[in-house]
Amino acid sequence: MTLLRVERLDSRHGLLQAVRGVTLEVARGETLALVGANGAGKTTLLRTIAGAHKATAGRILFEGSDITAMPAYARLRAGIALVPEGRRLFPDMTVEENLSVAGGHGRPGPWNLNAVVEAFPLLRRRLGSRAGSLSGGEQQATAIGRALMANPKLLLLDEVSLGLAPIAVEAVYRSLESLIAAGATVVLVEQDIGRALSISTRVACMLEGRIILEGRAHEMTREQVTEAYFGLRRAQRAQR
């Protein structure tokens, strides 16, 4: 069953068109990885779905309802939670306080403080620590946990592994794999093509604001995705 449908979506930053006519679907329980070089439009697409950036054309449908004009806070209550690039935690608040902030703004459901700590064990001993003192991996786990506290139906993750040490990436992805195995619906932006292929149900590659390659992850090779990532296929066609 389709949970999210994006139809011919455009988004701009002033005169720059960052998302160009994007159409995609995400089924309930599916994990879609968005890959592409810097500036491809991935972050703007996630922010537009979450309501943090305005669409200039097209539609966004969530559970069959048109939410294109819905403000971000209402989308959160409807079940769409975004973990933004850079995490954007409150650095002077404790981990527990950062997690609790989201609890009163989302939907009722199974995710609470205990459930988040169970999913991200590295946070257990850090609940009383200020977010600004955390390692990159701990901050990312806190940011994802904060989104889960809103009990989302759709979790949007921007740049999951960016700037993290390899050991932190492993810890965060172990927890993500558990969430996905439990049936979470996820759209994630990931620079690491290998990670994207290993964790996702489908992969979509963006270039210059458009989706130029899309398919089931187990049917796609790293080489295919890499060619699309860098626009090599387009360059090869232009040379013919």
Render pLDDT for 181-195 as a digit per residue (tens, 0 to 9).
889 999 999 888 888
What percent of the chain has pLDDT above 90? 65
Least confident of 20-24, 34-38, 117-121, 228-232: 228-232
Overall number of domains in the chain: 1
Instruction: Report residue 105's pLDDT band, with 50, 70 and 90 as the boundaries.
Output: low
Enter the DSSP assignment of 200.
-
Q: Which two tokens stand for residue 129?
A: 């620590």
pLDDT at site 109: 84
- Domain limits for position 27: 2-239
Q: Are 23 and 43 in contact (CB under 8 A)?
A: no
Is pLDDT of 99 > 50?
A: yes
- 210 exposure class (CB count in 10 Å sphere: 0-12, 13-18, 19+): middle
230 or 48, which is more confident = 48
What CATH number is given to the structural domain containing 127?
Answer: 3.40.50.300
175 or 20, which is more confident = 20
Is pLDDT of 27 > 70?
A: yes
pLDDT at site 203: 95
In the chain, where do the E strands start and end?
A: 2-13, 16-27, 31-35, 55-62, 65-66, 80-83, 154-157, 186-189, 202-207, 210-216
pLDDT at site 236: 46
Least confident of 27-31, 121-125, 152-156: 121-125
Model pTM?
0.89
pLDDT at site 234: 52
